[in-house]
Amino acid sequence: MCLELKQNDYSDNEIIDIVNSGFAKLRKAFILLEKIIDSLPFAYAIAKKWNVSDHKNRVKDCSIAYDYFKVSDGKIEYCISKCMYVEMFEHYGIRSLCKIFCMTDETAYSNLTKHVEFVRHSDLSSGNCCHDEVIDKKYMRK
């Protein structure tokens, strides 16, 4: 779909908006789930479990290469240097549109604000690596 839109001279921002509107109903369901999770005192533990599980699956299927994936008390930090989504988009000359996938994390964490702090230092759609931190806010207060 991104290729078709790009060939029809849509800008990256227009394409991202079109794709996002196409998934709006599904996104609303996830937003509701995330807001429910955010109301729970163990929301960070759920986010931690998601991240650890996702890391394990991505390493297993080789879809993402991590420079590091660190889990410590109250914090997960990782740096990704290779992602098959980015590679595929790069192959078709639309690397910048891979931002659509990178935005998924930003959207999810924007709904987990009571207990989780998400910091994106960089992403692979426009840089050399994806460097993120997922922090338990109760550790930030100490």
N-to-C CA span, the chain: 47
Domain count, the chain: 1
What is the predicted pLDDT for the residue at 141? 64
Mean pLDDT of 32-44: 95
Nearest to 102 by CA among 73, 137, 127, 67: 127
pTM of the model: 0.89
pLDDT of residue 119: 97
Q: Are 12 and 2 in contact (CB under 8 A)?
A: no
For residue 20, what pLDDT is reported?
Answer: 87
3-state secondary structure of 104: helix
Q: What is the mean pLDDT of residues 96-117?
A: 92
| Residue 142 banded pLDDT, cuts 50, 70, 90 | low
